[in-house]
Amino acid sequence: MTGTQAPNAVGIEFADSVLEASVRDGLGAVEKALLAAVSSEDEFIATAAKHLVDAGGKRFRPLVTLLAAHFGEPHTEEVTLSAVVCELTHLATLYHDDVMDEASVRRGVVSANSRWGNSVAILTGDFLFARASDILADLGPEAVRIQARCFERLVTGQIRETVGPKPGIDPIDHYLAVLSEKTGSLIATSAEFGARFAGLEDHQIEALRVYGEQIGVAFQISDDILDIDSDSVQSGKTPGTDLREGVPTLPVLYALQDTDPNGARLRALVSKPLTDDAEHAEALGLLRASSALVQARATTLEYAEAARAALADLPDVSARTALDALADLVVSRTG
């Protein structure tokens, strides 16, 4: 992937050709710095660290960083480096997630844990965290603090997901809170870094941080939907992975709360891990035709609209139009 391809990789139609060119250039600079960050004199480490970078990806977090920066001065080294920090952090979590999920495919290629084993995948993720920390040190103590608090939320969300909701807590409320921590926090930080290093005022930084968190949750729910309602070519991973492992995503949680007698078979299927191929295929088919998927799409829209609302007091510039378009994309990608 090159910088010139990255904006189209997430599907944004830019209304402003000047902004589009600037963002393309910015993503190109991020890509170059990202490749430098994952390099190593050790050939094996370099290969493992570049595995997911070479596989591509949407570069959603750097895109948010750059768009947020375009409310101020976007062409600073700090903007580029902070975008790299967020992408490195994201990539590191993917290595770890695939170990926890026993995933075999990531971004359309064999996962690192499948190729080299769990230990190498975990250590490679740690290597990327270390490289992100090294870059952060040059961005100043406040950036280090912001990232540390973000990382705490990432880990907290993962732990809460693993442990599950406490007695008396609605599973859907618990799940959405987990998404805010696991996904929303890093995209919020991506937006905050872009705004901060572009020289924006505090209230503008906060507005963009809120946008990032809300669009991050919407983005993750849309991924949950795509995991059910797409093939491996579209999603870049094996469809229904969470179903097979018995991990309830939002469409499943809505299905489990449905009291319609016609949904009894679906509830029975998704209430357990689906290791049987026939049952797994049946559950996918029922979910694709269910009201639960409709509800999940409606929730995606709610978060996307909350993200859009966070921009209300920001200047009406091309970057704001692009962030609005990004909110539209997150909704439309789920059909």
CB proximity list for 259: less than 8 A, separation 6 or greater:
none
The pLDDT score that the predictor gives to residue 60 is: 93
**pLDDT by residue (tens digit) across 24-78?**
999 999 999 999 999 999 999 999 999 888 887 789 999 999 999 999 999 999 9
Q: Which stretches of the chain are assigned E, i.e. beta strand?
A: 105-106, 109-110
Angle at 87 (CA atoms; ends 322, 4), nearest 5 degrees: 50
Orientation angle between helical segments 17-37 and 43-54, nearest 10 degrees: 160
Confidence of residue 134 (pLDDT cuts 50, 70, 90): very high
Q: Which 3 state secondary structure label does DSSP give 90?
A: helix
Within a 10 A sphere around the Cβ of 135, how many other Cβ atoms?
18
The pLDDT score that the predictor gives to residue 1 is: 35
What is the DSSP track for 172-238? Answer: HHHHHHHHIIIIIHHHHHHHHHHHHHTT--HHHHHHHHHHHHHHHHHHHHHHHHHHHHS-HHHHSS-
Do 154 and 93 form a contact (C-beta atoms < 8 A)? yes
Give counts: helices (H), strands (E), the chain: 18, 2
**pLDDT by residue (tens digit) across 198-255?**
999 999 999 999 999 999 999 999 999 998 987 654 555 567 878 887 888 999 999 9
Q: Report, as an integer, the average pLDDT of 99-110.
A: 73
The pLDDT score that the predictor gives to residue 34 is: 95
The pLDDT score that the predictor gives to residue 82 is: 98
Return the residue matching tokens 């937006």. Answer: 191
Do 37 and 84 form a contact (C-beta atoms < 8 A)? yes
Which residue, among 40, 46, 51, has the nearest Cα to 112 in the 3D structure? Answer: 51
Where is pLDDT greater, at 232 or 157?
A: 157
Return the residue matching tokens 């050709």. Answer: 17
Q: 188: exposed, middle or buried (C-beta count within 10 Å: 0-12, 13-18, 19+)?
A: buried
In this model, does residue 183 exceed pLDDT 80? yes
Longest dimension (CA), the chain: 61
Reading the block at residue 241, the tokens are 């992975």
**pLDDT by residue (tens digit) across 283-326?**
999 999 999 999 999 999 999 999 999 999 999 999 999 999 99
The pLDDT score that the predictor gives to residue 335 is: 64
Return the residue matching tokens 């990327």. Answer: 128
Reading the block at residue 25, the tokens are 């250039």
> Which CATH number fits the domain 6-223+305-332, given the four candidates 3.40.50.800, 3.40.50.1950, 3.10.150.10, 1.10.600.10?
1.10.600.10
The pLDDT score that the predictor gives to residue 53 is: 86
Q: In angstroms, rounded to a whole number, what is the distance separating the alpha carbons of residues 95 and 328?
A: 29
Average pLDDT, the chain: 90
pTM: 0.90
The pLDDT score that the predictor gives to residue 227 is: 87
